Amino acid sequence: MDHPFSQGDYTIREADWGAERETLLRVRHTVFTLEQNVDPLEDEDGRDPESLHAVVLSGGEVVATGRVLPEGKIGRLCVLAGHRNRGVGTRLFSFLFERAKSLGTPRITLGAQLHAVHIYEKFGFRVTGEPFLDANIPHLKMIWDRPSEDPT
């Protein structure tokens, strides 16, 4: 099901990895490899087929993507440069976070680039541990623990 949101003509929906693999990898390649100089082999971890993927579309084109691993780890969140600072990444994260919560795992995790920590803190995530390098980019591990009274 598509979920429109108010910033421009953006729509968010779950993506089918089998059918949309090339498109999702193209967006990730643009952001991670071309912009952030991440080795393309770092992105290929073999976990995509088992993950839940989401995309944000504008004018029918995919402009952002991210995924949730079965154990509740959110990652590979990226937004094309021309669509940043419009709430697209935050809305995509919110969508993925809700999907991760629906898995029922007691803890949801992510690795946050340092500049984005404040965004995840607004969703109730907290930093745990010291900074680490992921693809040569400083990150912090963040966790969200399900409240004991939360059945979802």
Tokens of 134: 């992921």
Those residues with Cβ within 8 angstroms of residue 145's Cβ, 6 or more apart along the chain or in another chain: 106, 107
* Domains of the chain by residue range: 3-105
Dihedral-angle region of residue 46 (phi above 0 means left; psi in -120 to 50 means alpha; beta otherwise): left
Q: How far apart are CA 131 and CA 133, in angstroms?
A: 7
User: Is the Cβ–Cβ distance between 142 and 130 less than 8 Å?
Assistant: no
Q: How far apart are CA 143 and CA 112, in angstroms?
A: 10
**Tens digits of residue pLDDT in 54-111:** 999 999 999 999 999 999 999 999 999 999 999 999 999 999 999 999 999 999 999 9
**Tens digits of residue pLDDT in 125-141:** 999 999 999 888 999 99
Q: What's the predicted TM-score (pTM) here?
A: 0.90
Q: Does domain 3-105 have CATH number 3.40.630.30?
A: yes
